[in-house]
Structure 1
Amino acid sequence: MSISPAITVGEGIQCNYPVICLFDQRLYVALTHQQDDRESLRVFVFDEDLKALDTRTALSDFPINSRPSLGSDGQRLCIFWLRKSGRTGEIVFQDVNQVSDTSPQILAPVSGNSGWIRTASSPEGDMIVVWQDGSQKPYQCRYSLLKDGKPGPVQTLTSEFPVRHPDVIYGDNAFYIAAEQDTKDFQPQIYLTRILKNGRIDKSIRISDHPAGNYHPSLALSQNGDLVVAYTSPRKGKQHWDMPRWVYLSFYNGRKVRHLDPLPGMDLTKDLTDQSLEYPRLAALDSGQLFLTGRPSQNFFVQVRGEKGFEKPYRLEQDGWGGRGLTVELAVRGHTVYTVRRDLREVILQKIEVRKPESRMDKLKSFPASGEIPELKNSSYQNYRDVYPKIMGKTVFFGDLHHHTAYSDGIGDPDEYYMRARDFLGDDFFCLTDHDHFVGRPMQPGDWQMMKDVADYYNAGDSFTTFYGIEWTTGRYPNSGYGHRNIYAIDPAMPLIDHTRDPWKTSKDLLKEIRVFDGIAVPHHTGWTGTDWENADDISQPMCEIISNHGAYEYMGNRPIQHRGGKKGSFMQDGLAGGHRFGVIGSTDSHGLIWHHRAGYKRNCIRSGLTAVITEHLNRESLFQAMKRRHTYATSGIKLFLRFECENSMQGDVMTSHRVPEFSVECISPDPILRIVLVKNNSDVYEYGGDGLRSRFTWTDPDPIPGQESWYYLRVTTVTGEMAWSSPIWITPLI
């Protein structure tokens, strides 16, 4: 395999989502280009030696122009894309030769999380375009047949389940659409649907059969006419789920489905930055070889079928932590594969010459698909909102407010995270917080609108609640920034925040500006990247994340859960000593990596921190107002009940009292309780030994200081090493 030098396409970090197509002996690359709060669509033209020939910009008066796809019917090359203004928009298309001069044709109105556009053509020149439509629940897959460049009626794959992330190919005198379908909670399967050339649905075939879930299919047509489907699955063994995922291949010959044996190089035990493999793209070469690409957590790879089967993965250039795109897109001519990808800080175009087999290729080892999907054998996580007692008439709700997807520097797609929290982890609420602008990748306006659309899709009244969130990611305090803060809101007007642009550059400006949309800021891993307590605003910053996979940040040298880094003056107790009032939360800060690439304290990269909110109702308004009132506590991932009261006040409250402060404590834990420590003004003043799974006690402060405010909070440790912290109660005794 011979790889050409990398060619940069476009203007660096502002470019993303490139796609590629060969047409009329020229190479076309389309991508999105960000300029402040707008996205434009650009097309770059090259010859087959990668010499630049032309650049075009699509004509559009919409602020968001994203997710392009290129497709040819043999006579013309068309570009399809999603254009939006806010939540609503359109799937549109135009001939690339007219894209700069003529407004595009509207294919279909859409709203919500729509896009993921793919095309295919028949030898006779019929073209099909498919896309994900999130305008309503459940997600739908729409398609339209184009003849002579004119679209036919928009049709829908019939399914009672959500259908996402389609791909399409022509073969066996028909079009085939592969897509995810959520036939069971948290267990999407890949289905293949045959579409006749008149647009009628012929039949649908289930390809995958593992209960851990299967995602992001890609299609190719083998030399013998079999359809090949590549997809990602976070499976472990035959019936278990785990966070590491890999790419799997299945074959369909028109009658039966067979699964290929695991690919060489598959390693689900990796714990550094090249963990997992996802977002596959697949192509067939003239020789019958298959060319596979994918995305490990922090780079890209290619894998080719040779004489003896698939070779080991080859890692493309630019290893290292950073924000990348999702896929390596492909265009094939003979044994030459043209690739384009959004890598670290730039879009890269390369030509790969694949070595032809010198002898007949061995038959790939495979096994028949199962007729049924077995039950998932993972232990289920319990939902506790109807199990634990009330606190002053209010319910304790549990959720996680800090996760990263492949849209910044994590893995997985947003839908997967929400489904897992709702259906597998049994959480009450959830929020994604991808980075605003980090390690060479700014969040683009289309990405931000998509994140809000996905949050809205899964927000479901009194059963599961979601928020809007983004991580404001400046440099480490005090040398190069103000540390990291997550920004949360429930107002759909919450704008895209970018710390490299006004008015979001300083922490003071940030905390001032988020009041416009009633947002709140939460600093996290403060002892690692630091935080500027002196600029903290207790109204805009009512909480601090005390625990995540980076460790616990109550105080320097925290035990038994330790912490990453050690920046003096940046821990929770430092903020309290500075006179600030804030509650505590726990969140995982997951990037999808077990052991957080050896920097985390726990293998479990989806349950390293958890937030408990005490409020009346499970909805956005009730939860959000409770967080602003600091009615929260934090755990290291365990769903533990913690009641901490003084008179008529609970954790997070500020009170005065004409009596000596007397506290009532109750803790119920799934794991045996080792100890409960009551902390006053950052000093441990009382320790209560655990009483198994439930502990209750009262404590009266023997040394109250009349007229002087003190803060009190709880620290809980279980025999298994899990921890929890209450938010403080601030009390001024008037005695």
Structure 2
Amino acid sequence: MLIRAFITLFLSIFLSLLCIGSVLGQGHAGEVAIDRDDVKLGNKHYSPFVGKSYPNRVYWGDTHLHTSYSTDAGMIGNVLGPEEAFRFARGQKVRASLGEFAQLVRPLDFLVVADHAENLGLAPMIAESNPQLLASPWGREIHDLVRKGDSLAAFVKWGESMQENIDPLDDDDLTRTFWNRIVESAERYNEPGVFTTLHGFEWTSARDANNLHRVVMFRDGADRVKDMVPFSNYDSSDPEDLWSWMKGYETRTGGKIMAFPHNGNLSNGLMFNDVRENGKPIDAAYAERRMRWEPLYEVTQIKGDGETHPALSPNDEFADYYTWDRGNFGTELKTPDMLPREYARTALARGLKYEAEIGVNPFKFGMIGSTDSHTSLATAREDNFFGKATLGEPGGGKERYEENIIQPDYLGEEIAVRHYESLASGLAAAWARENTREAIWDAFKRKEVYATTGPRMTVRVFAGWDFKEDEIHRPDFAAEGYARGVPMGGDLLKGPDGVAPRFMVRALRDPDGANLDRIQVIKGWVDAGGKPQTRVFDIAGSGERQLDADGKLPPVGSTVSGADYTNTIGAAAIAAHWVDPEFDPKQRAYYYVRVLEIPTPSWLAYDKAHYGNIDLPDDAVLVQQERAYTSPIWYTP
């Protein structure tokens, strides 16, 4: 009996030690056992990193990439599917649809293949003469047109169905088959800790040719998303119906899902409108739903930059950056009254006004960038730009510059946008502790993310009430930032009386890119008359430049010569401590950081150097300044 009692006691202690080891360190075989009497939870450890859980790495990805499974890609020449897209993003060399080889300077960390939900996989169906497609009279007609060599006629016929908002196939089983193929590809290439694939698709609402598109992104794996039929514009053109579908997905599966809109510049005032799609005004319930399902906005991509417009920010010398402002998708010209409801900076300020009036901010979004490339190739660098679509790939001849991205309708060329006006942009950066679906998705959800127009510059910002100027140089900068402040995407509540918020910002250049010019803070607020306001503050710059009488830094200069530049100007890293000089503790406000590189050649300049004397219009951009936009920090009294 004594021996049995001893054995029982020994096993009890041993199992307890195993439990403690599991809790403390997720122990592995071969670790030295811990004496439970020596374990004092909460004591300071010799290793300062024990128990640290704040995000300590930035991960880079594209959350908006189309493959041949998108009809507006596969039907106009893209022959690369999800497999090639994932291999390319992981750093492998891939042959593009027009024959050129392509490869990234460094692999991405994560990728979302976001093919259009509307007739998902139509081009591969035609290529394989899918029996279910051929069983449909419309499918047979489209298939035969392509097989006879008249792909353009087939594409136009499909476009007519899209305009009428009638699904010409209406076959969920067929859609499900090709959705599952994308899911299976994503699962094959997902490697936690190395490369993350997130499942997603694009909902393509374009009422009256006004862009209201959303990319939908899942946190979940194949066990939840497989056999699903993505919500499409054929189901509804109203974002609120998309949100209802998303809620149904979470309720049904226990999964998690979010969406982010893009290209408000092509919405003709509808993206951040004061009126909902059903004609009713914005109320608190709508605002809560919008921010529940759409915490982010894709602020920059190939079809123009969406941060701000020069008419909205006349005192911002960097505002006119690849501005696409002629109209929507080709049927209606732009009018000035539409602009405040299209661009991120003004929308963020208008959101503060709504919060004061109805108690909820409908436009409290973080910011990311992505490509929206339809080539299956996530290329955002100026010297490696494979275009918006296959016709604009390198080697495409004059079509690379002259192809209309925005097709004119009855308004003629006045509204057209050609491929030479496209922007080699952008990327999404996420602050997280590990490269997994869960960690990346969670970073997006808490808005600890930022956008760049292509370069992988590292940017961090914290806001708090007691940061000192010399703390910007602390080696534990991030640890102190989290301990005593809030990061990008966070909320700063009322501080001590008489104290203005302090910001600590660090920016580091892309190791394969250009030096930095300056760091700026963009502030938005609502004045005493209820009018939204914004202002740009230069808070740090490279070199010995000083602020002028208007509070602006002089230009950094330029070393660009053709397709060459040097890093003999600018700085590899810039840091800043900034105190809001106009702070009103009773006034709601937002703050985000914009970081600018020194001038560098555009993709057109690289094309001229590679192909020789290409003929470009006078307004072609040959020199530009790449940039990053962080998610805001909001101050609420």
When normalised by structure 2's length, the TM-score is 0.50
Q: Out of 553, 562, 566, which is 2:322 matched to?
A: 562
What is the match of residue 296 of structure 2? 543
How far off its partner does 1:688 sit? 2.6
How far off its partner does 1:675 sit? 2.2
Q: Which amino acid aligns with 1:585?
A: I
What is the match of residue 558 of structure 2? none
Q: Does 1:688 align with 2:421?
A: no
Q: Out of 558, 566, 590, which is 1:711 matched to?
A: 590
If each structure's helix is expressed as a fraction of its own residues, which one has the higher value? 2
Q: How does 1:475-514 map to 2 (within 5 A)?
A: 475-476=206-207, 479=208, 483-491=212-220, 492=222, 493-494=224-225, 495-502=228-235, 504-514=236-246
Instruction: Please tell me whether the aligned partners of residues 53 and 433 of structure 2 are also in contact (alpha carbons under 8 angstroms).
Output: no
CA distance in 1, matches of 2:418, 2:636: 37
What is the match of residue 398 of structure 1? 60
How far off its partner does 1:448 sit? 1.0
What is the match of residue 532 of structure 1? 271
How far off its partner does 1:639 sit? 0.6
SS of the aligned residue for 1:415 comes to helix
CA distance in 2, matches of 1:461, 1:594: 30
CA distance in 1, matches of 2:500, 2:260: 33
What is the match of residue 635 of structure 2? 731
How far off its partner does 1:499 sit? 2.9
How far off its partner does 1:700 sit? 0.1
Q: Which amino acid aligns with 1:668?
A: L
Q: Out of 413, 428, 433, which is 2:114 matched to?
A: 433
CA distance in 1, matches of 2:53, 2:369: 19
What is the match of residue 590 of structure 1? 373
CA separation of 1:393 and 1:405: change in aligned 2, threshold 3 A = closer
What is the match of residue 576 of structure 1? 348
What is the match of residue 354 of structure 2? none
SS of the aligned residue for 1:488 comes to strand
Instruction: Please tell me whether the aligned partners of residues 395 and 617 of structure 1 are also in contact (alpha carbons under 8 angstroms).
Output: yes
What is the match of residue 463 of structure 1? 194
How far off its partner does 1:501 sit? 4.2
CA distance in 2, matches of 1:706, 1:466: 43
Q: Which amino acid aligns with 1:728?
A: P
Structure 2, gaps ≥5 residues long: 1-51, 93-103, 120-158, 168-173, 251-255, 277-286, 311-317, 327-337, 352-362, 376-385, 393-400, 406-416, 465-484, 525-533, 543-569, 601-624
Instruction: Please tell me whether the aligned partners of residues 260 and 296 of structure 2 are also in contact (alpha carbons under 8 angstroms).
Output: yes
How far off its partner does 1:672 sit? 1.1
What is the match of residue 190 of structure 1? none
Q: Out of 442, 458, 463, which is 1:646 matched to?
A: 463
Structure 1, gaps ≥5 residues long: 1-389
Q: Which amino acid aligns with 2:626?
A: E
RCO comparison, higher one (Cα < 8 Å, 6+)? 2
How far off its partner does 1:716 sit? 1.6
How far off its partner does 1:703 sit? 1.6
CA separation of 1:481 and 1:636: change in aligned 2, threshold 3 A = closer
How far off its partner does 1:564 sit? 2.5
Q: How does 1:246-325 map to 2 (within 5 A)?
A: none
CA separation of 1:629 and 1:553: change in aligned 2, threshold 3 A = same
CA distance in 1, matches of 2:214, 2:230: 11
CA separation of 1:397 and 1:583: change in aligned 2, threshold 3 A = same
CA distance in 1, matches of 2:426, 2:242: 25
| 1:587-644 Cα distance to aligned partner (Å, 9 max, x none) | 0110125365444899899962000001122111111111011010000111110011
How far off its partner does 1:480 sit? 5.2
Q: Which amino acid aligns with 1:713?
A: Y
| 1:647-700 Cα distance to aligned partner (Å, 9 max, x none) | 220100012133410100111013111222210003213343235111001110
What is the match of residue 427 of structure 2? 610
How far off its partner does 1:508 sit? 0.8
Q: Which amino acid aligns with 1:694?
A: A
Q: How does 1:406-421 map to 2 (within 5 A)?
A: 406-408=68-70, 409-410=72-73, 411=78, 412-421=80-89
Instruction: Please tell me whether the aligned partners of residues 591 and 605 of structure 1 are also in contact (alpha carbons under 8 angstroms).
Output: no
CA separation of 1:589 and 1:562: change in aligned 2, threshold 3 A = same
CA distance in 2, matches of 1:612, 1:391: 19
What is the match of residue 101 of structure 2? none
Q: Which amino acid aligns with 1:594?
A: G
SS of the aligned residue for 1:594 comes to coil
How far off its partner does 1:560 sit? 5.3
CA distance in 1, matches of 2:301, 2:56: 26
Instruction: Please tell me whether the aligned partners of residues 551 and 601 of structure 1 are also in contact (alpha carbons under 8 angstroms).
Output: no
State the percentage of identical aligned residues. Answer: 28
Q: How does 1:334-345 map to 2 (within 5 A)?
A: none
CA separation of 1:559 and 1:574: change in aligned 2, threshold 3 A = closer
Instruction: Please tell me whether the aligned partners of residues 453 and 626 of structure 2 are also in contact (alpha carbons under 8 angstroms).
Output: yes
What is the match of residue 474 of structure 1? 205
How far off its partner does 1:498 sit? 3.5
Instruction: Please tell me whether the aligned partners of residues 486 and 522 of structure 1 are also in contact (alpha carbons under 8 angstroms).
Output: yes
Q: Which amino acid aligns with 1:697?
A: A
CA distance in 2, matches of 1:487, 1:437: 14
SS of the aligned residue for 2:113 comes to coil
SS of the aligned residue for 1:692 comes to coil
Q: Does 1:637 align with 2:454?
A: yes
SS of the aligned residue for 1:467 comes to strand
Q: Does 1:628 align with 2:411?
A: no
Instruction: Please tell me whether the aligned partners of residues 391 and 614 of structure 1 are also in contact (alpha carbons under 8 angstroms).
Output: no
Q: Which amino acid aligns with 1:496?
A: V
CA distance in 1, matches of 2:452, 2:419: 14
What is the match of residue 178 of structure 2? 447
Q: Which amino acid aligns with 2:365?
A: F
How far off its partner does 1:528 sit? 1.5
CA distance in 2, matches of 1:576, 1:468: 28
Q: Which amino acid aligns with 1:433?
A: A
| 1:216-273 Cα distance to aligned partner (Å, 9 max, x none) | xxxxxxxxxxxxxxxxxxxxxxxxxxxxxxxxxxxxxxxxxxxxxxxxxxxxxxxxxx
What is the match of residue 666 of structure 1? 506
SS of the aligned residue for 1:444 comes to helix
Instruction: Please tell me whether the aligned partners of residues 673 and 694 of structure 1 are also in contact (alpha carbons under 8 angstroms).
Output: yes
How far off its partner does 1:574 sit? 3.2
How far off its partner does 1:578 sit? 2.8
How far off its partner does 1:489 sit? 0.6
Instruction: Please tell me whether the aligned partners of residues 482 and 507 of structure 1 are also in contact (alpha carbons under 8 angstroms).
Output: no
SS of the aligned residue for 1:577 comes to helix
| 1:320-349 Cα distance to aligned partner (Å, 9 max, x none) | xxxxxxxxxxxxxxxxxxxxxxxxxxxxxx
Q: Does 1:677 align with 2:520?
A: yes
CA distance in 1, matches of 2:501, 2:303: 35
CA distance in 1, matches of 2:55, 2:209: 46
When normalised by structure 1's length, the TM-score is 0.44
Q: Which amino acid aligns with 1:655?
A: L
